[in-house]
Amino acid sequence: MSAESAPPEPEFPLPDTNWEMTREFWAAAAREELVIPRCDGCDRWNWYPSEQCPGCGETNLPWTAVSGRGTLFSWAVVRRAFVKPFAEKVPYVTGLVALNEDPAVRLVAGIVDCRPDQLRVDLPLRVVFRPLSFPGVSREVVAPMFAPAV
Ligand SMILES: [Zn+2]
């Protein structure tokens, strides 16, 4: 990669969208697509990304679009910011979302458009794409988040 096309450095607390293992995840999110590596050998969805399928050892794990539908497995309501850039965001909800394609695949994501007291286990969710932005950070990163499915 030439210096001219070098991607921007990650700016805390934005995710590092250049890290090879998850670069395609963030590139897809920017296109409002949710993608997960799927094993070419055994069709298993692999999350968190790894270099080899834990099921069969296959190393060809193409990023594959999923429906963006899932259910709420667990969540935490964050009421106190542990680092300063999050101070304006509290309270917010971080959840563990089980994907419809394979409920054993669970993504950590922000849960939005819902009051914390409306959350329940197995609540149907759908992916939405929202910019992550923080005070003092010029760049934004579009991230998949989940909202109640309507
Ligand atoms: Zn496999």
Q: Give residues with Cβ within 8 angstroms of 95, minimum separation 6.
A: 72, 73, 74, 75, 76, 108, 109, 110, 111, 119, 125, 146
What residues pack around ion ligand 1 (CB closer than 5 A)?
Answer: 39, 41-42, 44, 53, 55-56, 58
Q: Is 49 part of a structural domain of the chain? A: yes
44 Cα to the center of ligand 1, angstroms: 5
- pLDDT value for 70: 98
Residue type, 137: V
* Cis ω before 54 (30° cut-off from 0): no
Q: How far is CA 27 from CA 9, 17, 77, 115, 142, in A?
A: 15, 8, 28, 29, 9
Query: Using one digit for the tens of pLDDT, what is the confidence trace for 103-142?
Result: 999 999 999 999 999 999 999 999 999 999 998 888 999 9
Q: Which residues of 64-103 are buried (b: 16+ CB within 10 A; e: fewer)?
A: bebebbbbbbebeebeeeeeebeeeeeebbebebbbbbbe
C-alpha distances (whole Å) from 7 to each of 3, 27, 67 are: 9, 12, 29
Q: How many domains does the chain have?
A: 1
Containing domain of residue 140, as a range? 23-148
- How far is ligand 1, taken at its centre, from the CA of residue 64, in Å? 14
pLDDT of residue 4: 61
Instruction: Write the single-letter amino acid at 56.
Output: C
Cα dihedral value 98, 139, 28, 121, nearest 10: 10
Question: How many whole angstroms separate alpha carbon 15 and alpha carbon 27?
Answer: 12
Banded pLDDT at 3 (limits 50, 70, 90): low
Confidence class for position 83, pLDDT limits 50, 70, 90: confident
Instruction: Please state, rounded to an integer, the average pLDDT across all residues of the chain.
Output: 93
The predicted structure's pLDDT at residue 5: 65
- Please state the pTM of the whole predicted model: 0.90
* Choice between 44 and 12, residue whose per-residue pLDDT is larger: 44
Ligand 1 centroid to 25 CA: how many Å? 19
> What's the CA-to-centroid distance between 55 and ligand 1, angstroms?
5
> Is 10 inside a domain boundary?
no
- Quote the ligand 1 centre to 113 CA distance (angstroms): 36
